[in-house]
Structures are given as C-alpha cells and as structure tokens.
Chain A
Amino acid sequence: GNSVTQMEGPVTLSEEAFLTINCTYTATGYPSLFWYVQYPGEGLQLLLKATKADDKGSNKGFEATYRKETTSFHLEKGSVQVSDSAVYFCALSKTGGYNKLIFGAGTRLAVHP
C-alpha cells in the first residue's frame, strides 16, 4: 500500500547550518507530495508541495524535489534559523478516489543559536 517514511529525529543543528530531512515514499500511480510544518502547540501548515516528477517545491528558503526514480522528496534548507525549530511532516496524496493524505511520522528539528 501507500506509505511515507521519514528520517527519525530529533535533528539538532546550529543556526546557519544546512538542513536535510529525508523522505521516501511507496505509492501506486503518481501521487502529489507535500511537506507540512507544525510549530509547538499549533496545527499543521503547508510548507511546500510538488505534483509531478522533477517538480521542485519551494517556500521560505526550503526546497524539495520530487524524484520518481528514487521515490524521494527530501526537504532542504541552506541556512536554518532558530525560528525553523518545529516538527516537519512529509505526506503524499493517494491518487484516485477521494483526497486522502498519508503522513510520515514527523521529524523534529531543533536549531540552537
């Protein structure tokens, strides 16, 4: 079945470090892929998305490229800030039928000054 696997956290970085959070997926067909961010005590916010192979989603300095050959959608940022500390969720949409998102387990990022 469809599934999403994220790297386990927490990921701890110093400010201005390079960030990579790995995400791989298993799916039939051609799903859309998403990254959501959750700040402490809040709901999830859509960070970026890609809807077809080789698309690059970007927002707020974060980027992720839809790689069908490796079934991956890794999240990257060149220089993290303390304010980026949050939990990041990778997700895919199930194609066909109703719009059902399948989430990864989430990766906590902690950025220190």
Chain B
Amino acid sequence: DGGITQSPKYLFRKEGQNVTLSCEQNLNHDAMYWYRQDPGQGLRLIYYSQIVNDFQKGDIAEGYSVSREKKESFPLTVTSAQKNPTAFYLCASSIEKEIYGYTFGSGTRLTVV
C-alpha cells in the first residue's frame, strides 16, 4: 500500500545536538511538506518542496534545514539553533492538483532532554 512513513516515532535529543527526522513516501507525489505542532496548537509550516532539488521556507524555518535529493525523501534536520525544538513534527505530501489535499505521516515526537 502506498503511504508516507516518518521515523522514528519518538526521538530524544540533548541540547546542542542536531537531529534528523526521516520522511519517505511511495505515493509518487511531487510535493512534500514539514509542519510543527505544539501541544494544543495548530500546524505551522516549516519547509516545503515542490520538486526534487528545490525547497522553500515556510513560516517558521529558522533553526531547521531540509534536503530533497530524491522524490521519495524529504528529511528535516533540527539544528542546535532551534531554541524550542520540543514538538510534534508532521510530514505530508501531495500532487499538484489542489482538490486532492495532503497525505500525512504519523508524526515524530521530538523531546529535548
């Protein structure tokens, strides 16, 4: 079955360390997205990519970096410059046609210890 996979489900990081969250999709979708969700809050867009080797900053890109070397993969790196990294991170993908919406992964919960 096609879908979008995020790993790991839970991730712990020490302060000052970079950490990379994985997102893989086998839906043949062109576009991929990263969102951050804080407890009881909505979704905030971090980065998005419409095609391979291209990506754009979202609303809260500071302290994060991404790459899009393959269509299937869109990893997110949370750097030590991100002041409050503890959050739930959601990856999504879509095709260009807006009537189909997004497909979401199951999320990664990152905790800084």
Contact = CB atoms under 8 A, between A and B. Distances in A.
Q: Which bucket holds chain B's interface residue count? A: 20 to 34
Contact of B98 (A32, A36, A46, A105): A32
B101 A91 contact: yes
Interface residues of A, number: 26
A101 interface: yes
Contact of B96 (A36, A99, A106): A99
Contacts of B90: 43-44
B104 A43 contact: yes
A98 B104 contact: no
Interface in B80-113: 90, 92, 94-107, 109
A32 B101 contact: yes
Contact of B106 (A36, A43, A106): A43
Contact of A32 (B99, B104, B109): B99
Task: Point out which of B40, B50, B98, B105 has the most chain A C-beta atoms below 10 A from its C-beta.
Answer: B98
A60 B66 CA distance: 36
Which secondary structure dominates where chain B touches chain A? Answer: mixed
A98 B92 CA distance: 14
B106 A95 contact: no
Given A44-B90, A93-B101, A99 B95 contact: yes
B42 interface: yes
Interface in B21-64: 31, 40-43, 48, 50
Contacts of A100: 48, 98
A103 interface: yes
Contact of A49 (B97, B99, B106, B107): B99
A42 B95 CA distance: 22
Interface of B: 6, 31, 40-43, 48, 50, 90, 92, 94-107, 109
**10 tightest Cβ-Cβ pairs between the two chains A and B:** A93-B98, A43-B104, A105-B42, A44-B104, A51-B99, A43-B106, A99-B98, A32-B99, A43-B107, A99-B94
